[in-house]
Amino acid sequence: MLRPPTGGAGHGTAPTGDRLVSIGMVLNQLRDEFPEVTISKIRFLEAEGLVEPRRTPSGYRKFSPEDVERLAQVLRMQRDHYLPLKVIREHLDAVARGERLPLPAQVSQRELLGSTWDAEPELPTAPRIGRAELLAATEAADSELAEWESYGLIAPMAEGGYDSETVTVAKLVAELGRFGLEPRHLRAVKAAADREAGLVEQVVAPLRRHRNPQTRAHAEAATKELATLCVRLHAALVQTALGVRLT
């Protein structure tokens, strides 16, 4: 159960200052029920529009009891029903407007992970495509594909064939090649991606080893969210370094 915040009077449309708490206090209130929650997770949910804390003149977040309860509802719907954040947001917003709606149908873990990924739609993963289909999809020559593989940019699956993520990588490598960027030029990009993946693995490793089976089950969801944040950060850093606005 959530630990209630201390102090303050009754609820209202504009709660008094002594009922507003910092993000650290929110974390303490949530951790009894959600031991895997972090400050980064709360900030991520804010960025996704799940909660809108107030801000002090100096920019610090301040959460009302309603904000804390809304966060708890979001975390429960993720944990117990595997609902995507978009579905959770729409459901809670409708309830806040006074609409009486049944809880959305449970979705698969795969749909949950895909819901936080800000990228082009995935290609079908079954059946996996073969080498000839990959060459056709990327309009590349067999020698080019072999070079991409030699630099570790793509690799076939252990049982053969290529999955949708590999197809996406291959298409991007092919597009960059049209600007004169060869696989050898992309080694730095691959190395940076490997380092970022290692960083994410360090963060989620404790979740995968957690005694709570629900926490372990959500390690993959946390991995996806962290990957999304890394991708956004990487894009923002490239944009800042180039001094251009990316679309």
Bond before 127 cis per omega within 30 degrees: yes
Token pair in block for residue 158: 């252990």
Whole-number pLDDT of residue 112 = 37
Share above pLDDT 90 across residues of the chain, in percent, rounded to a whole number: 24
Asked if residue 75 lies in contact with residue 37, where contact means CB atoms within 8 angstroms, the answer is yes
Whole-number pLDDT of residue 172 = 92
Nearest to 84 by CA among 58, 57, 48: 48
Q: At what angle do helices 65-81 and 85-96 cross, to 10 degrees?
A: 140
The span from the CA of 247 to the CA of 245, in Å, is 7
- Please name the CATH architecture into which domain 131-242 falls: Orthogonal Bundle (1.10)
Q: What is the CATH number of domain 18-115?
A: 1.10.1660.10
Residues of the chain with CATH 1.10.1660.10: 18-115
Of 38 and 83, the one with more pLDDT = 38
The span from the CA of 246 to the CA of 69, in Å, is 36
Asked if residue 184 lies in contact with residue 144, where contact means CB atoms within 8 angstroms, the answer is no
pTM of this structure: 0.48
62: enclosing H helix or E strand: strand 61-62
Token pair in block for residue 47: 């960025």
pLDDT band for position 243 (50/70/90)? confident
The span from the CA of 70 to the CA of 8, in Å, is 19
- Highest average pLDDT, of 104-113, 123-132, 191-200, 236-245, comes from 191-200
Q: Does residue 133 have a pLDDT over 50?
A: yes
